[in-house]
A and B are shown apart, each in its own frame.
Chain A
Amino acid sequence: MVVWMALMALMALTAGLSRINLGEWSTVVALIIAAIKALLVVLFFMHVKYEQQKIAWVFVIAGFFWLTILLALTMTDYMTRGYLGVAGH
């Protein structure tokens, strides 16, 4: 119940903040709030916090770790494409 109330509060916060101009920080704040909400759901609703098996933790962490690799390495390509000139152009 407490977790649900926290989720609702964060939800209201992120909806309210979207109406206020925080400049470049808008997206960062919205994503941090989303990450906190996701963490609450995974840890409490999905019982990972109370999970007895260590192997379940390993699987969950590995899953999100691979997601990070997927996003981070894709972006290291796209965000650095303009850095060096292309020979012949």
Chain B
Amino acid sequence: MTAQHGLRHHFADMEQQRESATLGMWVFLITEIMFFGGLFAAYVVYRTTHYEAWVIGSEHMEFWIGTINTVILLCSSLLVALAVHASQIGRNRTTALYLWIASAMGVAFLVLKAIEYRAHYLEGSVPGAFWHMAVPDRPSVEMFFYIYFVMTGLHALHVTIGIVLLAVIGWYAAKGRYSPQYHNPVHVSGLYWHFVDVVWIFLYPLLYLIGHKKA
């Protein structure tokens, strides 16, 4: 159990186990790309067919909340990358600390997102029964907000899962479970968190920035 600690019986050696875990995570992330890809396709179709409504909708976005949230996610991604590096050189405490800070930043992201959702609710830009915003071409602007809520909502769900994941992996790291030979869980969870970051990198300009060019 010393050098081979953490090796599952169906793998020949640590190297094969590590490669399998990485590849498996990438396969999962590719299904996620397809999953979000469908939503991006819906976004592109409605944007090209109802461009004016998209500009109106985007002008109702909270520019600074979106910008601060982008900064938060990019910083948390850096921390996760540093955590993966720390786990590779066997520094479990540092790994745990970085992962927990990144996890807390995820919580901050969700808090800001919740404040933004509340503003939308008060403004009356939630599609359906709660809609009470006077705009030209209401169905198209509602469609913008519908796509906005589905995309950011699903992204927020992924962030929530990521927060729990990073916290748990951080806890395991604090208990000294990982070593330079065995740190797959840190690496693989890191991949997931970076993916969530990448989705937001595209959501931010597409949802928040189109309307401001006419300001």
Chain A contacts to B: CB under 8 angstroms: 1, 3-4, 7-8, 11, 14-15, 18-23, 26-27, 30-31, 33-34, 37-38, 41-42, 44-47, 51-53, 55-56, 59-60, 62-64, 66-67, 70-71, 74-75, 78-79
Contacts and interface: CB of A to CB of B under 8 A. Distances in A.
A66 B34 contact: yes
B29 interface: yes
A4 B80 CA distance: 12
Interface stretch (B126-134, B148-156, B202-210): B202-210
Contacts of B74: 4, 7-8, 11, 37
B41 A55 contact: no
Contacts of A15: 67, 70, 209
B53 to A, nearest CB: 15
Contacts of A51: 22
Contacts, number: 121
Contacts of B27: 59
A58 B63 CA distance: 37
6 contacts: A11-B74, A41-B194, A56-B23, A60-B30, A67-B37, A75-B48
Most interface-central of B70, B198, B214 (chain A CB within 10 A): B198
Interface class of chain A by DSSP: helix
Q: Which 10 A-B pairs have the closest CB atoms?
A: A63-B30, A30-B205, A18-B209, A26-B213, A4-B78, A45-B81, A18-B212, A67-B37, A46-B194, A38-B198
Contacts of A67: 33-34, 37
Contacts of B210: 26-27, 30
Interface class of chain B by DSSP: helix
B152 to A, nearest CB: 16
A82 B76 CA distance: 46
Contact of A78 (B23, B49, B78, B206): B49
B142 interface: no
B71 A56 contact: no
Nearest to B191: A46
Interface in B162-201: 187, 190-191, 194-195, 197-198, 201
B26 A14 contact: no
Nearest to A46: B194
A63 B33 contact: yes
B70 to A, nearest CB: 6
B139 interface: no
